[in-house]
Amino acid sequence: MILLLSRLGFTHHHHLSSEVNIASLQAFRSLVAENLNQALQSLILGSEFFSLTWIHRCFRMIPIINNAFAKTMVDIGYPMSRWEAGSIDEYLDYTINMLELLNSISSSISHVNQARLSLTRALSLIESSPALAVDRIREIKMHDSIKKCKTSGISDRILDRNRNENEWIFHEAMMVLRSTGFWVCGVVLSGLKSHVDPIMGVMTNMVAMDSSLMALDSIFRKKFIERGGILKEVEAVNESVRLIISSGIGDSNDEMELKRRLKVVGNGLTGLKDEEECVFGSVMAARNEVLEMLRRN
């Protein structure tokens, strides 16, 4: 520990406080690693991979990690009110990129939900207008609005060698916060989009920033390809649609099963949307707090 602190440029009389502060940083990293490991184990052992339930569980990591980051800053005596200009710039950059990703998630959820509602309405026409119902019963297609998915940033820049200890710890924690948060958003978006190359590009950049994501990202990509990149619940709906189209309208059991599967998708999207709104609100509130602090000063 002493050798590490010396290499980082912290003087001897700061060693005691530095050890405590770096222990706080390590505790933050450990908490993030624990959450990532849980996601990894669910990938390896679980049968829920690439379901709405699974990506929702991943999404829940973001508020946990955000709260842990804020606690770490308080623990090292570097709360928001004491942030230096560089830390403020880095945090504002993180939050604006996160809000843009969350907006993309919200838009994608709305698109999939609209496709679900259209299919539900088509089913309701079976008795009164079977020909019209057949024409409108279609598979759910993912949204393709993202052609570019860019997360600009300064987290990977080399900080000034004259940085103080708190700024260095902030920067190190921010790299973890940023890489994990953006990677998780990439997981969510990959389940809601069909054009995933830009999203995968962002995830690759995050792995390059934080090697602790490497194992999880590698297994995720392998299983993503195996499943064809389609959410489990959506594929179940599309399977029912294909069955009804191929066999013709009239089998009430097939129609009831499609209704049931559509309800599962609806419930899953509702839970994901609620989580997205919660995360968006908390990120926006934290960003506004920083901006208000700047206005006061």
For the chain, which ranges sit under pLDDT 50?
A: 1-16, 154-158, 161
Query: Which two structure tokens, joined as six digits, stand for 279?
Result: 């995360």
Q: Among residues 223, 147, 149, which one has the least CA distance to residue 185?
A: 149
In the DSSP assignment, the letter for residue 163 is -
Q: Give pLDDT, residue 142.
A: 79
Task: Quote the pTM value.
Answer: 0.86
How far is the C-alpha of 152 from the C-alpha of 150, rounded, in Å? 6
In one-letter notation, the amino acid at residue 234 is V
Neighbours of 42 (CB within 10 A): 16
Q: Give pLDDT, residue 203.
A: 82
Q: Give pLDDT, residue 13.
A: 43
Residue 76's contacts (CB-CB under 8 Å, 6 or more residues apart) are 20, 21, 24, 25, 166, 169
Number of domain units in the chain: 1
Domain enclosing residue 113, as ranges: 2-42+50-296
Over residues 220-266, the pLDDT tens digits come to 888 888 888 889 999 999 999 998 888 776 667 888 999 999 999 99
Q: Give pLDDT, residue 45.
A: 74
Question: DSSP of 216-266, one letter per residue?
Answer: HHHHHHHHHHHTTT--HHHHHHHHHHHHHHHH-TT-HHHHHHHHHHHHHHH
Only one residue has tokens 């920033």, namely 209
